[in-house]
């Protein structure tokens, strides 16, 4: 015999159904920002739950918070790293973060395009630029998170986007 969900769960279900209609009226940019805000809220709620209920803790992947369209990041509780003066790095970080949502990594060619858009670069120079950028991101704190794949790179972390108001 199934029991009815607690009142709080029914309220949440009702609220989510109401959101469906509101979300259908948003532009792609507004929808992406809303998704990022919801993801962040879920992260905060999960963290609070884990703190309140130690038995619920499981070995978690690293949590990477990206703000300002890739212009800064924070890994876990480490200090924030600012990339606002490093356009290529924040473009590459953003491409890696978006690629982390899929199972495949991001190709070196895609990372080159993200870091240096509309630039024509010789193949050896392109490979060198991408390797140097990846090494720099690793040196800035992402050593255990940026993973080399067969033909590119990926992030081994749960990625959360935060767009400041």
* Domains of the chain in sequence order: 1-59 (no CATH), 61-165 (1.10.10.10)
Least confidently predicted of 16-30, 104-118, 119-133, 140-154: 16-30
Contact by Cβ (8 Å): 75, 145: yes
119: which strand partners?
A: none
73: which strand partners?
A: 66, 81
107: which strand partners?
A: 152
Look at residue 151 and give its three-state secondary structure: coil
pLDDT digits (tens, 9 = 90+) for 36-84: 677 677 667 766 766 676 655 555 677 888 887 778 888 888 888 998 8
Is the pLDDT confidence value at 8 over 70? no
Contact by Cβ (8 Å): 13, 19: no
Write out the H or E segment, with its range, that includes residue 115: helix 108-115
Q: What angle do CA 15, 17, 18 make, to 5 degrees?
A: 65
């Amino acid at each position: 015999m199934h029991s009815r969900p607690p009142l709080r769960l029914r309220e949440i279900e009702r609220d989510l159904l109401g959101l469906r209609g509101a979300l259908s009226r948003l532009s792609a940019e507004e929808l992406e920002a809303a998704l990022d805000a919801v993801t962040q809220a879920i992260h905060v709620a999960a963290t609070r739950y884990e703190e309140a209920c130690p038995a619920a803790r499981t070995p978690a992947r690293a949590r990477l918070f990206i703000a300002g369209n890739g212009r800064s990041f924070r890994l876990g509780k480490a200090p924030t790293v600012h990339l606002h003066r490093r356009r290529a790095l924040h473009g590459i970080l953003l491409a890696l973060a978006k690629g982390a949502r899929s199972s495949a990594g991001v190709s070196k060619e895609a990372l080159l395009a993200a870091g240096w858009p509309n630039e024509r670069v010789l193949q050896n120079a392109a490979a060198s630029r991408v390797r140097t950028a990846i090494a720099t991101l690793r040196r800035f704190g992402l050593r255990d998170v940026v993973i080399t794949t067969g033909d590119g790179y990926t992030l081994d972390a749960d990625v959360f986007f935060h767009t400041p108001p």
